[in-house]
Amino acid sequence: MEFENRDIISIHDFSTKEILHVLDVARDMVPAAQGKEEKNILGSKVMSSLFFEPSTRTRLSFEAAMKRLGGKTVGFSDAKSTSTKKGETLADTIRMAEAYSDCIVIRHFNEGAGRLAAKFSSKPVLNAGDGAGQHPTQTLLDLFTIREEKGAIKGNRVILAGDLKYGRTVHSLAYALAMFGVDMAFISPRGLEMPREFVSLVKEMGVDLYEGRDLAEAVAEGDVLYATRIQKERFPDPQEYKKMASSYRIDNEMLSGGKKGLIVMHPLPRVNEIAAEVDDTPHAVYFRQAFNGVPVRMALLALVLGARR
Ligand code: NCD
């Protein structure tokens, strides 16, 4: 298992053993992530944070992670304020970030941008979301959350609900859960189903998979309900988005049909998918899940920068 200098582009690049190692290191990071302990192991390092697409949690938790480890950050959260606006290519922007820092975190609207960025940088590149493609660091924090909340990853039945077509978090997560032999249900409105390639892949991996539309019915069987936002920005036709916008909503009434220990997760931001009343119930895990982005990203940064093995 070698992490030093490695790019983190897709969850497909990991073995289950490597994933569990990242989650173990992340657990060690929790006290420092909470500010209860000093951990200045990246004191001489700088992280570039290049966000070509909007972000709250991913960008802030990456920056917090770097700073909790004593490192520093440079970057932008709006590409309009950079030379991209003057026509600079992604390749050249990456070359600059490589020159100014020790690792590069990139979020981009084009699928494949993370992999492309890694080609132009000899320093580690961490994909923070590429279009409707992959979001591997989110998947690792999702797995960390399931493991911490439920005691293990395997043995749970996980419902992935919502926009499974354009939602990149569920693309990475479905594959990772299948690696751990987790049975799943994919529940989506018509037209937003999980792409067939992922369905075939997951089935080939031998897990039990149910596909349907009725979330209220599926809830009864689940241990984890992972809800997603309808990805407005990825719809080619705004009219299509309007039709889907309020296609499902999780509230206390719906959850009353679920198991007592059912946890509700969401990568956030939520729009209408989860009623605010759910926040005060023991089912709601999404805010703790968002915090988990810090220890998990601390683990990844420490590993790829060679400060932890
Ligand atoms: C997600 C994303 O950007 O893919 N957000 C996140 O990183 N936590 C989910 C979304 O935007 O709906």
Ligand 1 touching residue 137 (CB < 6 A): no
Catalytic status, residue 58: yes
Catalytic status, residue 107: yes
In a domain, 24, yes or no: yes
Catalytic status, residue 6: no
pLDDT digits (tens, 9 = 90+) for 93-102: 999 999 999 9
Work out the pLDDT band at 239, boundaries 50, 70, 90.
Answer: confident
**What's the CATH code of the domain at 107?**
3.40.50.1370
- pTM assigned to the model: 0.96
How many angstroms separate the alpha carbon of residue 54 from the centre of ligand 1?
A: 9
150: left (phi > 0), else alpha (psi -120 to 50), else beta? alpha
45 lies in the same domain as 118: yes
125 lies in the same domain as 264: no
Active-site position among 107, 123, 229, 308? 107
From 268, 272, 286, 289, give the residue whose CB has the most ligand 1 atoms within 8 Å, as the site to mutate.
Answer: 268
pLDDT of residue 247: 80
Domain boundaries, position 26:
11-134+291-304
In a domain, 4, yes or no: no
pLDDT digits (tens, 9 = 90+) for 47-94: 999 999 999 999 999 999 999 999 999 999 999 889 998 989 999 999
User: CA separation (Å) from 71 to 128, 301, 302?
Assistant: 18, 10, 10
125 lies in the same domain as 42: yes
238 lies in the same domain as 116: no
User: What size, in residues, is the chain?
Assistant: 309
115 lies in the same domain as 149: no
Q: 171: closest CA among 209, 203, 133?
A: 133
191 lies in the same domain as 123: no
Ligand 1 touching residue 297 (CB < 6 A): no
Query: Whole-angstrom Cα distance, residue 95 to residue 276?
Result: 44
On the question of pLDDT at 244 being above 90, the answer is no
Active-site position among 57, 115, 234, 270? 57
266 lies in the same domain as 300: no
Taking the CA of residue 128 as reference, the ligand 1 atom at the shortest distance is 7
200 lies in the same domain as 271: yes
The tally of domains found in the chain comes to: 2
- Structure tokens of 143? 């797995």
Q: In this structure, are strands 224-227 and 263-265 parallel, antiparallel, or unpaired?
A: parallel
96 lies in the same domain as 228: no
236 lies in the same domain as 278: yes
196 lies in the same domain as 285: yes
The sign of the CA dihedral 146, 148, 151, 154 is positive
Q: 59: closest CA among 4, 126, 145, 132?
A: 126
Taking the CA of residue 163 as reference, the ligand 1 atom at the shortest distance is 12
